[in-house]
Amino acid sequence: MKKIIAVIILILGVSFTASAQQTKTVALEQTKGEFTQKQLTLSEGTYIFEIANNGVDHNVGFVLVPQGKKGEKHHIKSAYVTKLVAKNKKSTTKKVLLKKGTYEYFCPLNPTPRYTLVVK
């Protein structure tokens, strides 16, 4: 019985570790009217975006959409920051599963241009 419990604990530990390793964090910084990172290339996978507000005097956010899509209905909702980002603070998104393709990211609150994110 002890061996069975030990095996179950080992399997659960490996599962949690593998799940944690699969989620990567991408740090993005906004300054007045722009992101400092103008383009991103990522591998297919699960990501959390960490958005930093570096000196913008009001709250900023983050929007991710498939390339060429306009309007809120196309926004990837899990990529919204969980809390608007105040001046000189950071906030993160929920987990975002990205498949191969091209996306655009921007902030309508700052506002910024649309930047390209390529997933290979």
Residue 85's CATH number: 2.60.40.420
Q: Is residue 10 part of a domain?
A: no
What's the pTM?
0.83
* Pairwise CA distance, residues 54 & 35, whole Å: 10
Q: Is residue 9 part of a domain?
A: no
Average pLDDT over residues 84-107: 98
Write the pLDDT tens digit of every residue in 6-60.
445 545 454 444 445 699 999 999 999 999 999 999 999 999 999 999 999 999 9
* Pairwise CA distance, residues 3 & 67, whole Å: 52
Mean residue pLDDT of the chain comes to 89
